[in-house]
Amino acid sequence: MTGISASGAFTALVRRDLALAYRQGGAALQAVVFFAVVVTMIPFGLGPDLALLQRVAPGILWVAFILASLLTLDRLFQADFEDGSLDVLVLSPLSLELVVLAKSLAHWLANALPLIVAAPVLAVMLNMHLVGLVMLTVTLAIGTLGLTFLGTMGAALTVSVRRAGLLTALLVLPLYVPILIFGVGAVAAAERAQAAGQGIEVGEANLLLLTAVSLIGFVVGPFAAAAGLRLHLE
């Protein structure tokens, strides 16, 4: 078991998952379209009051983003579990924790990144200021790491359940609450600071706490998910 073969296996797995996501297509694009449709429907529900839309925009965008990211989460390990690939992934130079890490990384690149790119465009539709828009993108980029890695736990626990989407959502959404609170808080704080004539503060408390929660997810997620997968292999 050498370091070279382990890192080779890691990149091979990331590349395979990206190629599969690209080849099978659809899922990531569907999530982006879902995100856009949900955000587009909000003005129909609230009415065309620009000041109101501007005030609720960070919350709306974050909630819609989280819901959209759930759409692709439940398939994270399921395909590998069903076709038997997971058995062979276990018998590899990589520990199962690193397998989870590689798959999460590919999942983030294939599914979270398109959503992050779509977010600023949708933010303009809700009349957000440039500062809020930049901050939203930053918080989403940080927060999605937490969303993905905390999400792996739910995906691993429901890997053998048919139509697991709803169950995964129920397991994972409570864990997403801190990310939502600090993410929206950071955007709101940036907008307030701009209204008061100040610039964006990098060390702002919400942003730091968001980063902290994401890092906790990054550390805990792979271990918890690997433990969950081991349970299902038996």
Partner 1 sequence: MIRGANGAGKSTLLRLVAGLIRLSGGHFQWRDGANTNRPSPEPDQFHYVGHQEGLKPAFSVRQNLDFWTQFMGRPDRSRYGDVLDKWHLRSIADIPTQFLSAGQRKRTTLARLSLVDRPIWLLDEPTVSLDAAGRAILQNLMTAQAARGGLIIVTTHDEITVPDGEVLDLSDASTEPVS
Footprint of partner 1 (CB under 8 A): 1-2, 4-6, 8-9, 11-13, 16, 19-20, 23-24, 82-85, 87-93, 233-234
Beta carbon nearer to partner 1, 90 or 161: 90
Rounded to a whole number of angstroms, the minimum distance from the CB of residue 224 to partner 1 is: 18
Rounded to a whole number of angstroms, the minimum distance from the CB of residue 226 to partner 1 is: 13
Beta carbon nearer to partner 1, 19 or 130: 19
Nearest to 148 by CA among 42, 17, 4: 17
Can you read off the two tokens belonging to residue 69? 């990211």
Beta carbon nearer to partner 1, 48 or 234: 234
Rounded to a whole number of angstroms, the minimum distance from the CB of residue 99 to partner 1 is: 10
Dist CA 234 CA 230 (whole Å): 7
Which amino acid appears at position 133 of this protein?
A: L
What's the CA angle centered on 110, arms 152 and 185, to 5 degrees? 65
Beta carbon nearer to partner 1, 90 or 131: 90
Dist CA 34 CA 69 (whole Å): 10
- The 10 Å Cβ neighbour count of residue 158 is 26
Beta carbon nearer to partner 1, 91 or 202: 91
Rounded to a whole number of angstroms, the minimum distance from the CB of residue 233 to partner 1 is: 5
Rounded to a whole number of angstroms, the minimum distance from the CB of residue 158 to partner 1 is: 19
Beta carbon nearer to partner 1, 11 or 198: 11
Long-range Cβ contacts of 27-31 (<8 Å, 24+ apart): 27/71, 27/72, 27/75, 27/111, 28/72, 28/110, 28/111, 28/114, 29/114, 30/71, 31/68, 31/69, 31/71, 31/72, 31/111, 31/114, 31/115
Helices (H) and strands (E) in the chain, counts: 10, 0
Rounded to a whole number of angstroms, the minimum distance from the CB of residue 137 to partner 1 is: 32
- Residue 187 and residue 139 in contact, taking contact as beta carbons nearer than 8 Å: yes
